[in-house]
């Protein structure tokens, strides 16, 4: 059997037999159905063989070519059957002859398993009745077989006219491939297309294709390092490779990749890289289609492990099979970017040399080299730094770093020639250059630049210089972390964090990050921050804790960069503790004095805390879109301001009782228009911890809400407030307290798909609960958010009144998306009686799911435990929740038997709760709920 993986001769004979022999009539409906069935079976069998061969040899390009040849044979069989047995047209007139031409991706002779099939039915003149019938028969057969077919029926003149007007049509004809019929028609089209269209419109075509690419990147996500990339459309994907080939074919007027190689566009190494990228991307795309049975182009989390297994990746220490596969993918995507840059450089140079007349003179003036102050090795050409001679790096390897420093100093972009030569000179970056004081000083100047360090460092990374100069950085280039929290590869995250810092450094982030912006002007060790951010995740992918390993890397790299012992120690300390502030803010009770004291003991000084605040903001902000929000900003500010007095003197400036009296005095003034009895009654309802926990403005709002509810004699009431500055909406509930109230409130939020970021739950002295649930903002308009909050509040009221069952509301909730099923998080429970003076602290870790908070709070109520506060944090698929508990007598849980029971019950809930009952929702941020009447702070 040939490489079509189908015996075309045997298939034709079988179809002839179905029609009743050589002179049989194939137009009958029962014959058509039999022919359709036979064709489907042939395609299924052929594709099965192709998939088996593909799994065996792993060649993506060959798989796509085999699928294309199979498709060619199927279409040819349909055409031959139609002409012989349906329309019986043996002697065609010149006007009835046509050519069937493959265009678009199919025209390249490659197909993914579920790709569209693009066909051009090429006519000599206008359409005839016979031609129209044949085209219709072929198309309906293909459609009934389940293929998606893009098609056009045009004359040669139509094709030429439309290709002038439409770039898409022009591109499809550029890829045209003859399939069957009147080949002279096809030859005529291609000759005239080349002479009348391609020869005179190269500049226009190249500009249009690069514009399309930029728009596609904007739509798919600008970074090529998004962790769920679209293999076809994302930056560095298959479409970029196609665009590169279209441009080269058009400009050099060649038909094949081999001809492109002969044109001298790429070196032998670069052409090999092109072929390797092409084969790998085809392999990934073909596997995607085979696995899903559809035209799936996105490498979603749930599909990545499947493809890693099919592509024979295995686990290694510090990196799973899927992470190794995705690192390979991102390195290929980077290669595609390099190849595009090289092609653009070559085209620019050749077009410049060939320009004549007025445009040539203007171009020559524009390209005239300008001297860059302080160097003779580099020049400025049209505001881009370029090499002054071909030996610029061979003669002086430090120039591989100096080029980037000069570009930063003089605000220059990078000429493709300079980038290409830097990429080809990476072997010059050796141990000697890495130890060179001048090279390190130049690099540190770029890293801590007052201008745009992210832009220059990104170019450094793109051409490979950064990873060679800092080998530990090279190890995390294109490294993916297989989780739903991190949106980018490790190197992309590090560069983005530098970008956030430079914006804060420039004072451009005052509105978004007021505390970090204010602190930036106070710190003494500015460059410490830049180095710490560059290195904070540099040890990811190693078996040990990346914070500890990263600090060790810093102690080795910092002295090399010329940093002092004090600076080195600071960088190392920041990397060791770079997750601490975020973890404490999101998973600890910031009203617990011991929490603040323990944090202050680690900080040691105001400067260290100030540095850590800024680093934490940059780190979170660079994780990905939507990860940073106003609520997290508020948590960090609270932790900072609560710790500041201890680091500045170690004492509380105002005694507890005096603080409470001050609050009561202020509220008495606010409520001056109330009657004295009413004012005294309302102010006597909360316990002391309420006055020390809730902001005064919120106390005024909540207590007015309590008064209005009492005046209306309601047993239950809700109030909704949108807080635009914190990106949240709060829902305050006043109801009779009971142990499972938190579970009910969380369940109603789960039913609405709302993410709880905080909750404050207090029991008043009359036995009612005053609860405020804070949910993550979804809508940008305040009225939309308030309407959403009101709907959730209404559902809470209906459940508490018994008008609707919570289980029914939960059942209507959308199931978790399949992408979350790709991850497993081993349930973990830690119980600690030393974190807080008065409370037992339970920390749990599990895979997040709708209802987790409610399941856990119900289990704690079953254990007769009171939740004094809970802090809910979600990192992608992982829930990390902390509960501050007492028994119902208000004491710590100290009994070994009770602690064992708590652990056993919670582990059971985490492991089996998702399959038994779903009662709530949690995700994102910190939560501070349930205080059955915690009477002391």
Contact criterion met (CB below 8 Å) for 220 and 231: no
In the prediction, which pLDDT does 350 show?
Answer: 63
| Structural element, H or E, at residue 722 | strand 717-723
Contact criterion met (CB below 8 Å) for 60 and 279: yes
Phi, psi (degrees; rounded to nearest 5) at 483? -155, 170
Alpha helices by DSSP H, 197-267 = 202-220, 238-252, 257-262
Contact criterion met (CB below 8 Å) for 277 and 61: no
Contact criterion met (CB below 8 Å) for 189 and 157: no
From its phi and psi, is residue 895 left (phi > 0), alpha (psi between -120 and 50) or beta?
Answer: beta
In the prediction, which pLDDT does 927 show?
Answer: 35
In the prediction, which pLDDT does 535 show?
Answer: 97
In the prediction, which pLDDT does 556 show?
Answer: 96
**Residue 219 exposed, middle or buried by CB count within 10 Å (0-12, 13-18, 19+):** exposed
Tell me the C-alpha distance between 595 and 571, whole Å: 24
CA 566 to chain centre: 37
Tell me the C-alpha distance between 619 and 611, whole Å: 12
Please count the residues of the chain.
937
Tell me the C-alpha distance between 194 and 424, whole Å: 35
Q: What's the half-sphere exposure (Cβ side, CA atoms, 13 Å) at 627?
A: 20
pLDDT means per 10 residues, the chain with 937 residues, are 74 91 84 94 95 94 95 95 86 79 92 94 86 92 95 93 91 93 94 91 85 74 66 87 84 76 77 90 95 91 90 86 89 85 70 49 55 89 90 96 96 89 94 97 96 94 94 90 72 94 89 87 92 96 91 97 96 96 89 89 94 96 80 84 85 63 89 93 87 81 94 90 82 85 81 77 86 82 86 86 79 56 79 90 86 83 83 77 84 92 92 48 37 30
Q: What does the block give as tokens for 209?
A: 């294709």
In the prediction, which pLDDT does 924 show?
Answer: 36
Q: What is the DSSP letter of 316?
A: B
| Structural element, H or E, at residue 808 | helix 806-811
What pTM, to 2 d.p., does this model score? 0.77
Which residues are CB-contacts of 175 (< 8 A; sequence separation ≥ 6)? 103, 104, 105, 107, 108, 246
Q: What does the block give as tokens for 95?
A: 């006007």
């Amino acid at each position: 059997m040939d490489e079509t993986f189908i015996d075309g001769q045997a298939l034709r004979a079988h179809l002839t037999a179905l029609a009743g022999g050589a002179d049989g009539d194939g137009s009958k409906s029962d014959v058509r159905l039999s022919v359709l069935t036979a064709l489907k079976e042939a395609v299924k069998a052929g594709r099965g063989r192709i998939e088996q061969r593909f799994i065996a040899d792993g060649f993506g390009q060959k798989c796509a070519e085999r699928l294309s040849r199979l498709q060619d044979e199927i279409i040819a069989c349909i055409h031959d059957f139609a002409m012989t047995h349906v329309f019986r047209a043996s002697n065609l007139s010149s006007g009835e002859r046509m050519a069937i031409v493959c265009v678009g991706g199919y025209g390249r002779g490659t197909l993914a398993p579920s790709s569209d099939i693009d066909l051009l039915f090429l006519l000599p003149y206008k359409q005839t009745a016979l031609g129209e019938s044949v085209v219709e028969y072929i198309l309906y057969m293909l459609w009934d077989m389940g293929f998606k077919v893009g098609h056009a029926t045009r004359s040669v003149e139509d094709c030429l006219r439309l290709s002038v007007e439409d770039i898409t049509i022009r591109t499809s004809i550029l890829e045209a491939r003859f399939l069957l019929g009147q080949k002279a028609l096809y030859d005529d089209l291609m000759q005239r297309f080349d002479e009348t269209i391609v020869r005179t419109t190269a500049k226009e075509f190249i500009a249009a294709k690069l514009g399309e690419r930029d728009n596609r990147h904007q739509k798919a996500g600008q970074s090529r390092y998004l962790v769920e990339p679209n293999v076809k459309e994302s930056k560095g994907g298959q479409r970029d490779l196609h665009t590169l080939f279209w441009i080269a074919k058009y400009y050099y007027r060649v038909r094949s990749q081999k001809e492109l190689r002969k044109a001298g566009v790429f070196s032998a190494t670069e052409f090999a890289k092109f072929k390797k990228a092409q084969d790998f991307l085809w392999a990934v795309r073909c596997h995607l289609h085979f696995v899903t049975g559809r035209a799936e182009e996105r490498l979603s989390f749930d599909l990545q492990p499947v493809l890693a297994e099919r592509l024979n990746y295995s686990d290694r220490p510090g990196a799973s099979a899927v992470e190794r596969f995705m690192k390979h993918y991102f390195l290929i995507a980077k290669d595609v970017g390099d190849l595009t840059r090289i092609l653009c450089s070559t085209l620019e140079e050749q077009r410049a040399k060939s320009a004549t007349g007025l445009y040539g003179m203007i171009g020559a003036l524009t390209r005239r080299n300008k001297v860059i102050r302080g160097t003779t090795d580099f020049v400025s050409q049209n505001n881009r730094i370029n090499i002054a001679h071909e030996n610029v790096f061979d003669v002086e390897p430090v120039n591989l770093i100096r080029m980037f420093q000069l570009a930063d100093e003089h605000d220059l972009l990078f000429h493709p020639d300079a980038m290409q030569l830097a990429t080809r000179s990476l072997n010059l970056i050796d141990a000697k250059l890495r130890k060179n004081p001048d090279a390190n000083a130049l690099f540190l100047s770029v890293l801590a630049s007052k201008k745009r360090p992210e832009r220059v460092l990104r170019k450094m990374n793109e051409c490979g210089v950064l990873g060679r100069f800092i080998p530990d950085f090279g190890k995390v280039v294109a490294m993916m972390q297989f989780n739903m929290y991190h949106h980018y590869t490790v190197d992309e995250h590090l560069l983005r964090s530098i970008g956030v810092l430079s914006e804060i450094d420039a004072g451009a982030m005052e509105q978004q990050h007021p505390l970090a912006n204010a602190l930036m002007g106070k710190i003494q060790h500015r460059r410490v921050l830049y180095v710490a951010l560059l290195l904070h995740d540099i040890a990811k992918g190693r078996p040990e804790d990346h914070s500890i390993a990263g600090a060790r890397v810093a102690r080795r790299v910092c002295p090399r960069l010329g940093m002092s012992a004090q600076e080195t120690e600071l960088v190392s300390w920041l990397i060791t503790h770079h997750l601490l502030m975020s973890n404490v803010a999101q998973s600890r009770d910031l009203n617990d004095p011991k929490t603040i004291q323990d944090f202050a003991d680690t900080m040691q000084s105001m400067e260290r805390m100030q540095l850590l605040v800024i680093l934490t903001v940059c780190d979170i902000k660079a994780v990905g879109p939507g990860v940073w929000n106003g609520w997290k900003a508020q948590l960090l500010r609270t932790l900072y301001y609560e710790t500041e007095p201890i680091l500045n003197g170690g004492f509380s400036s105002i005694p507890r009782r005096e603080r409470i009296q001050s609050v009561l005095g202020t509220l008495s003034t606010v409520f001056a228009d109330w009657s004295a009895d009413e004012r005294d009654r309302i102010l006597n309802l909360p316990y002391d911890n309420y006055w020390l926990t809730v902001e005064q403005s919120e106390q005024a709002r909540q207590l007015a809400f309590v008064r209005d509810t009492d005046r209306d004699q309601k047993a239950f009431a809700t109030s909704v407030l949108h807080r635009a500055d914190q990106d949240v909406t709060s829902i305050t509930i006043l109801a009779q307290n009971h142990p499972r109230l938190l579970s009910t409130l969380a369940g109603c939020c789960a039913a609405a798909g709302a993410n709880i970021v905080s909750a404050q739950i207090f029991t008043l002295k009359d036995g009612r609960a005053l609860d405020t649930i804070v949910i993550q903002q979804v809508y940008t308009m305040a009225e939309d958010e308030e309407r959403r909050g009101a709907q959730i509040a209404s559902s809470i009221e209906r459940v508490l009144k018994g008008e609707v069952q919570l289980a029914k509301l939960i059942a209507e909730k959308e199931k978790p998306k399949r992408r979350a099923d790709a991850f497993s998080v081993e349930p973990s429970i830690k119980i600690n009686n030393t974190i807080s003076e008065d409370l037992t602290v339970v920390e749990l870790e599990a895979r997040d799911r709708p209802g987790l908070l409610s399941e856990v709070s119900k289990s704690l109520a079953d254990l007769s435990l009171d939740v004094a506060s809970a802090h809910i944090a979600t990192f992608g698929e992982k829930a990390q929740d902390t509960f501050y508990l007492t028994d119902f007598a208000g004491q710590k849980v100290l009994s070994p038997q009770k602690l064992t029971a708590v652990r056993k019950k919670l582990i059971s809930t985490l492991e089996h709760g998702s399959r038994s009952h779903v009662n709530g929702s949690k995700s994102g941020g910190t939560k501070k709920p349930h205080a059955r009447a915690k009477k002391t702070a």
